[in-house]
Amino acid sequence: MNETSRPDHVTGMRCTLCGKTYLPGEVDYVCPDHGNEGILDIEYDYDAIRRRISPQSLALDRTCSQWRYRPLLPVLPDTPAPAAAVGWTPLYETDRLATSLGLHALYVKDDSRQPTGSLKDRASALAVMKAREVGAGMITTASTGNAAAALAGMCAASDMACTIFVPRSAPRAKVAQLLAYGARVFLVDGSYDDAFELCLKAAGKYGWYNRNTGFNPYMAEGKKTAAFEICEQLDWQCPDAVFVGVGDGCIISGLHKGFMDLFRLGWIDRIPRLMGVQAEGSDFLYRCWKEGADPVTFPAIKAHTVADSISAGLPRDRRKAVAAVNGTGGAFLRVSDEAILAAIPELARLTGVFAEPAGASPLAGLHAALDQDLVARDETCVLLATGSGLKDVDATIRACDAEPPVIAPTLDALGDALNSAKRNQES
């Protein structure tokens, strides 16, 4: 993309390490002075945006997707969006869950309802558009599974090709999605972090457009639309705290960016505390934040958790993620795999939202935050259910730990089964 074809409301791309600003098109992904650590942040002309969009214009806008916020996104006016209804997912007010936790108001933002079943669609849709703007014919990404499924789905909805690198251990449902969408898939015999490094090298060697999380500065921009929706759905009232599962830290960074955009526009008058939930076995950001250490130099860990979507030994957006928590007065929370698994049926039974482990982890984090008095009972909280439970049914079967009885198709057999269930309950 040359300079004349940059969106006129985008003023630049600022390096989060050194502060140097580039024009879009001047560099491809990261600040050349810092290699992969030089993650860029997109900057906007908010006066120009304010002339094109307002809470009043949105109230009349019937676009039921994240493209209702197009003037706030870094794309050219005529770049076609994938033919998929990305975003504008429901925000449910929970009654029974709020009551059972003793909370005044608790909402669940249900991003399991995205076209490919996870929040990653918000970013991948933007990736396909940016690839088209630069004339790329092939997009690539490394992923624990959902970013890949989202990219494959958005490519299928836009007639674009993609090459995907996922760890060999990725849940089968996510691999099935990749195959169905017709992606070229490589199962990497290694971790997500290994797949990430390979993907970076391959993109460089073959000239593919690179969607990699963190590395591609536009991904947080796509994810920020979740923050826009939460505020609009609450009538431009800001919640007090938003809980989200954190792996690479791109979603929490995107949320921060989204709330900051609205704050700079004057549409909200404060920013919610961002609460990043990490699994015990993948707690890089929690530990780094707790110790007040520099995320760039903090040593990588070997990540292992049942919540595959938040398994990251070297979170790619670590600087922005720590800044999102510190800049909003939030916290990182560390929860066990057992607590994450227990949150799946709890969320499903009390709200009707069936989430994968990473998508239910915010509820486990809310329990931890209540235990630590990080949330007051009269505050309004939002749980971001980032991915569908259908993505990883093995985890749910483990979580529910129940074998339904097999019965003959007769009322007698049903009667026996009901009686024995009753006896089991009594004993």
The H or E element containing residue 192 is helix 192-206
> Other CB atoms closer than 10 Å to residue 245's CB: what's the count?
33
- Cβ atoms of 116 and 82 within 8 Å: the answer is no
Task: Give the relative orientation of helices 337-351 and 357-371 as an angle to the nearest 10 degrees.
Answer: 100
Contacting residue, 94, 118, 191, 225, with ligand PLP by CB under 6 A = 118
Contacting residue, 17, 76, 105, 393, with Zn ion by CB under 5 A = 17
- Give yes or no for residue 87 binding ligand PLP (CB under 6 A): no
- Give yes or no for residue 282 binding ligand PLP (CB under 6 A): no
Residue 121 C-alpha from the chain's centroid? 9
- Give yes or no for residue 272 binding ligand PLP (CB under 6 A): no
Region from 64-72, 175-183, 243-251, 395-403 binding ligand PLP, contact rule CB under 6 A: 243-251
- Give yes or no for residue 120 binding ligand PLP (CB under 6 A): yes
| Near ligand PLP in 298-317, by CB under 6 A | 309-310
Contacting residue, 30, 42, 98, 358, with ligand PLP by CB under 6 A = 358
Residue 7, amino acid: P
Name the 3-class secondary structure at 275.
strand
Beta-bridged to residue 187, according to DSSP, are: 166
Contacting residue, 87, 153, 247, 365, with ligand PLP by CB under 6 A = 247
Name the 3-class secondary structure at 241.
strand
> Other CB atoms closer than 10 Å to residue 206's CB: what's the count?
10
Contacting residue, 210, 278, 386, 396, with ligand PLP by CB under 6 A = 386
- Of 143 and 380, nearer to ligand PLP (C-beta) is 143
**Measuring CA to CA, how many Å separate 338 from each of 300, 301, 395?**
24, 21, 11
Region from 90-98, 241-249, 257-265, 323-331 binding ligand PLP, contact rule CB under 6 A: 241-249
Which residue in the shown chain puts its C-beta closest to ligand PLP? Answer: 387
- Give yes or no for residue 251 binding ligand PLP (CB under 6 A): yes
Spatial separation of the C-alpha atoms in residues 38 and 294, rounded to whole Å: 14
- Give yes or no for residue 18 binding Zn ion (CB under 5 A): yes
Site mask, ligand PLP, residues 131-150, x = CB under 6 A?
A: ---------------x----
- Give yes or no for residue 245 binding ligand PLP (CB under 6 A): yes
- Give yes or no for residue 365 binding Zn ion (CB under 5 A): no
Name the 3-class secondary structure at 154.
helix
* DSSP notation for 27-89: BSSS-TTSGGG--EEEEE-HHHHHHH--HHHHHH----SGGGGGGGSSS-TTPPPPSS--S--
- Of 49 and 139, nearer to ligand PLP (C-beta) is 139
- Give yes or no for residue 359 binding ligand PLP (CB under 6 A): yes
Site mask, Zn ion, residues 23-62, x = CB under 5 A?
A: --------x-xx---x------------------------
Which phi and psi angles does 14 have, rounded to 5°?
Answer: -105, 130
Q: Which does 33 bind (CB under 5 to 8 A by kind): ligand PLP, Zn ion, none?
A: Zn ion
The residue whose two tokens read 């849940």 is 171
- Of 15 and 226, nearer to ligand PLP (C-beta) is 226
- Of 15 and 375, nearer to Zn ion (C-beta) is 15
Contacting residue, 38, 387, 392, 399, with ligand PLP by CB under 6 A = 387
Name the 3-class secondary structure at 376.
coil
- Of 7 and 214, nearer to ligand PLP (C-beta) is 214
Spatial separation of the C-alpha atoms in residues 311 and 301, rounded to whole Å: 10
- Of 73 and 219, nearer to ligand PLP (C-beta) is 219
Tokens of 70: 């197009």
Question: How many residues line the site for ligand PLP (CB under 6 A)?
Answer: 18
- Give yes or no for residue 356 binding ligand PLP (CB under 6 A): yes
Spatial separation of the C-alpha atoms in residues 46 and 10, rounded to whole Å: 9
- Of 140 and 305, nearer to ligand PLP (C-beta) is 305
Q: Which residues contact 335 (CB under 8 A, 6 or more apart)?
A: 277, 278, 279, 280, 361, 364, 365, 367, 368
Q: Which does 118 bind (CB under 5 to 8 A by kind): Zn ion, ligand PLP, none?
A: ligand PLP
Name the 3-class secondary structure at 98.
helix
Instruction: For residue 208, give the DSSP letter.
Output: -
Residues that bind ligand PLP (CB under 6 A): 118, 120, 146, 213, 245-251, 309-310, 356, 358-359, 386-387
Residues that bind Zn ion (CB under 5 A): 15, 17-18, 20, 31, 33-34, 38
